[in-house]
C-alpha cells in the first residue's frame, strides 16, 4: 500500500488529504483509477426488498511536486480543481487535519 498526498492545484502547498492506493511506483503524468464510496441507490423497477448499490470510477492525475524550501520532493495527486467534497467520496482518501505542512 502506498500513501500519496492530495494537493490543491491552485496552491500546491495546501494539502487536502492523503490517498492510500494499492500501487506503488506511480510516476509524474500518470493517471490512476479511483473508486467512489458505495451509495445505496433507489431505482425504479426494483422490488421492495431489492436494493442497488452503485459506485463510479474516476481518475486521478499524479504530478511531481518539489518545494526545496521545505525539503519536499514527491509524486502527489493533482486535485484538478476538484473540491474537498469530491475527495471525501473517494475510497482510500483521508482528509488532512492541517491544510499546510508544518514550518
Q: Give the tens place of pLDDT for each residue, 57-72.
A: 999 999 999 999 989 9
Q: How far apart are CA 96 and CA 68, in angstroms?
A: 22
> How many helices (H) and strands (E) are present in the chain, helices listed first?
1, 8
H helix intervals, 10-90: 84-88
**For 33-52, what is the mean pLDDT?**
76
**For 32-42, what is the mean pLDDT?**
87
pLDDT above 60 (res 83): yes
pLDDT above 80 (res 101): no
Going by C-alpha positions, the residue among 34, 40, 48 that lies closest to residue 6 is 34
Q: Indicate the pTM of the whole model.
A: 0.81
pLDDT above 50 (res 56): yes
Predicted pLDDT at 44 = 62
Going by C-alpha positions, the residue among 77, 69, 71, 80 that lies closest to residue 28 is 77
Amino acid at each position: 500500500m502506498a500513501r500519496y498526498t492530495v494537493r490543491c492545484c491552485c496552491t500546491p502547498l495546501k494539502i487536502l488529504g492523503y490517498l492510500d492506493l494499492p500501487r506503488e511506483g506511480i510516476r509524474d503524468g500518470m493517471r490512476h483509477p479511483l473508486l467512489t464510496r458505495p451509495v445505496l441507490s433507489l431505482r425504479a423497477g426494483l422490488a421492495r426488498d431489492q436494493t442497488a448499490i452503485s459506485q463510479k470510477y474516476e481518475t486521478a492525475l499524479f504530478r511531481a511536486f518539489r518545494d526545496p524550501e521545505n525539503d519536499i520532493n514527491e509524486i502527489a495527486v493533482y486535485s484538478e480543481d476538484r473540491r474537498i467534497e469530491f475527495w471525501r467520496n473517494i475510497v482510500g482518501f483521508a482528509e488532512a487535519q492541517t491544510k499546510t505542512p508544518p514550518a
